Structure 1
């Protein structure tokens, strides 16, 4: 399976103060978005669509990193 690995990972703070998560591919980002606490906003939809495009081999991995 193509994962769409990024050249540089993204680190973000979770809902738990002081707990960080690092992701490094479109596949990881897509999974994280499915668990995201805010669902369906314009930014979320754009990021999710970008991840799916990479996984379908329709876009370059960095496209999903920029979201």
Structure 2
């Protein structure tokens, strides 16, 4: 399964990162998970990858937790 993410869609990216850093929970589908967020953090937000740690992915719900 693959998904196309519009390159201009920074609002989604920032919203997802803000949810993660403030609420400590990342409510995005599994297919949007690690790689895309790392790219966003590195290229768009200029944040180090180590600020996000993926500890668990619940494949039944498609939710990922962020420590």
Using the size of structure 2 for normalisation, the TM-score is 0.27
Per residue, is there more strand in 1 or in 2?
1
Using the size of structure 1 for normalisation, the TM-score is 0.27
